[in-house]
Structure 1
């Protein structure tokens, strides 16, 4: 089965209104040092994290977004990587996939474009993978500096699974009628969680991604002590417990504990 994109999420992209404040907020949550030299007038602050998938904070006030008609609805959720951006671009166009941003090359060696899935979720394709080592914790916090999962809200889970699996050149799967989540395991970094619970329940929010913890109670107490807004309270299941928080721009972020890994 032909693979157009690499089956790994290079970076999660969070679109923020105050770049410096958001960088400080996420760094404090993860126990990382704020790197002042990355506030160099550019539109992004990037964070290399453990287990491959990084975090990019993208300033919504930058000129590129304003001139391109940027909105929260059409902003990319995360970044895929391709060996050849033009080849991936042409292949996606041939498949009839909607391109929301044509190829841009802001500097030599860096090219990217955006596309959307059948549910209107937007993703970026880039040719750059960051070989830099992950940032080290300078302060102990119960929230790991890694992203084990990203979330994609969908309406029809079977159709969405077929679409995304085909895109990544993976084997198709037949779902039962009561399934509400499909986990696409990546070759490296964050797994992709297709989720139609939000659609079924009529929720208006979406969870962007998950940070992991070894102790859900300790993590919950930590975010409360830091006066971080809790969006949904702890939910406990056999395999996982989790709660969600709001970042400075009201993005919903999950913090979860896998009981399978912690046992």
Structure 2
């Protein structure tokens, strides 16, 4: 296999949003953080993450399409609590909790209709 100068390391994931103010409040409630002021003329909001690639809300192209499956997922340690949290936030949940052996997951949408997913690793008992 040839060498590549491109590293196999994701630097940042961009989530397209149409209304930065609304999206910042929604993602803040979903993920439990207080949004800072967006940068880049109010079009980019960096979401604080615990580890892994960084995450940014991006309002630069409001004409985006939400077609397709989720492009990434969030982790949880408690799927039942996660589903309850989504329900309390009145989030549109688009799948039941599915267990595929190594993980269980649930899919849902943000206010723009962008498909999102939360996964929980299978317990090793």
The TM-score by the shorter chain falls in which range? 0.7 to 0.9
Q: What is the TM-score of this pair, normalised by structure 2? A: 0.85
Residue 41 in structure 1 maps to residue 41 in structure 2:
yes
1:155 matched residue in structure 2: none
Q: What is the CA deviation profile of residues 5-56 of structure 1, one whole-angstrom value per residue up to 9, with x for unaligned ones?
A: 12111111111100111111111111111113x3573321112312131111
2:79 matched residue in structure 1: 216
Root-mean-square deviation over aligned CA pairs: 2.1
In structure 1, stretches of 5+ residues that fail to align are: 63-70, 74-203
- In 2, are the aligned partners of 1:20 and 1:39 still within 8 Å (CA)? no
Structure 1 residue 238, shift from structure 2 partner: 2.2
- In 1, are the aligned partners of 2:20 and 2:42 still within 8 Å (CA)? no
Structure 1 residue 253, shift from structure 2 partner: 0.4
Q: In 1, Cα distance between the equivalents of 2:101 and 2:7?
A: 32
Q: What is the CA deviation profile of residues 201-224 of structure 1, one whole-angstrom value per residue up to 9, with x for unaligned ones?
A: xxx631121011111111111100
Which is helix-richer, 1 or 2? 1
SS at match of 2:71: strand
Q: In 1, Cα distance between the equivalents of 2:5 and 2:111?
A: 35
The within-5 A match list for 1:243-258 is: 243-258=106-121
Q: In 2, Cα distance between the equivalents of 1:39 and 1:2?
A: 36
Q: What is the CA deviation profile of residues 42-82 of structure 1, one whole-angstrom value per residue up to 9, with x for unaligned ones?
A: 321112312131111111457xxxxxxxx536xxxxxxxxx
In structure 2, stretches of 5+ residues that fail to align are: none
Q: In 1, Cα distance between the equivalents of 2:24 and 2:12?
A: 15
User: 4+ residue stretches of structure 1 with deviation over 4 A?
Assistant: none
Q: In 1, Cα distance between the equivalents of 2:85 and 2:48?
A: 23
Which is strand-richer, 1 or 2? 1
The within-5 A match list for 1:72-83 is: 72=64
Aligned residues: 123
Structure number with higher relative contact order (C-alpha < 8 Å, ≥ 6 residues apart):
2
